[in-house]
Amino acid sequence: MSNDIQYPDHFITRLHSIWGEGFMSPGGPEEVGEIVRDLDLGSKTVLDIGFGTGGPAIELAKKHQAGKVIGIDVEPQLRERALANIEQSGVSDRIDLRIVEPGPLPFADESFDVVFSKDSMAHIEDKQALFLEVKRVLKSGGVFVASDWLSGSGEVAVAALNEFRDVCHLVLPMATAAETENMLLDAGFENTSARDRNEWYAPLCVAEVERIEGPLRDQLINEVGIEIYDHWLKVRTALAKATTVGGLRPTHLRAYKPGSSTM
């Protein structure tokens, strides 16, 4: 991840306005459920990479009954917002949030049953190094389960993705699904899968732009000002285009560390 702050308070406010308190990427609690679908997290120790403002960690602990969720992120202001949400969740005793430096994960080998991430790995440039670290901290038979923003292929798709990158302030070094699965295999994982979610998100993304232009407009201008609002509408319009033509493809990833299953 970049050391520069990518999620100032006014950006968090905008993301929460469309995705709900505690969520900085699409789908809210339902999408967390889709990511961990068919997994039994009861009493498991889970690492949440990129905890954001805490919504996913709360879902993992509260609805999916994870025994312990340790969340990591690199921006201190996110932890403040996340802790406020977690304090009201009723499961704060099972969630531990830590700010870390970019680089190797600060945990011993085989510390976790599950490594989870919701839409934060797109910021990480060296994904191969990340996957090696994920495998290292997973117990034998443990599972890496995540959603991530992946890139599409083809001239039209790539052009739309580049247009989005040109107007968006976020640092987003992306890979395709095939490239990502190959990196997971090269890292030593097995039973890898990549489940494309573009068909679900593309129309939803268009609807989000309509909400920002319509019912959310006055609220957002009041909260962040007209200049930030106008630029964000431009960014979101480019995002909707990139998603619609397949340049930006939200994808669920799953991969297992060899060994006796902990799931």
- List pLDDT tens digits, range 76-134: 999 999 999 999 999 999 999 999 999 999 999 999 999 999 999 988 889 999 999 99
For residue 221, tell me if it sits in a domain: no
Of 145, 189, 148, the C-alpha closest to 39 is 145
Going from the C-alpha of 232 to that of each of 10, 142, 151, 194, 236, the distances in angstroms are: 11, 39, 21, 30, 6
For residue 156, tell me if it sits in a domain: no
For residue 105, tell me if it sits in a domain: yes
For residue 147, tell me if it sits in a domain: yes
Q: Any idea of the CA torsion for 43, 45, 49, 54, to the nearest 10 degrees? A: 40
CA geometry: angle 219, 29, 171, nearest 5 deg: 65
What average pLDDT does the segment 216-220 reach? 96
Phi/psi of residue 72, nearest 5 degrees: -125, 150
For residue 45, tell me if it sits in a domain: yes
What pLDDT, on a 0 to 100 scale, did the predictor assign at position 2?
Answer: 42
Alpha helices in 36-90 (DSSP H): 55-62, 76-87
pLDDT of residue 194 exceeding 50, the answer is yes
Q: How many domains does the chain have?
A: 1
The model's pTM = 0.94
For residue 37, tell me if it sits in a domain: yes
For residue 233, tell me if it sits in a domain: no
For residue 226, tell me if it sits in a domain: no
User: What is the residue range of 86's domain?
Assistant: 9-151+176-199+250-256
What average pLDDT does the segment 158-187 reach? 92
Higher confidence at residue 50 or residue 262? 50
- CATH number of the domain residue 19 falls in: 3.40.50.150
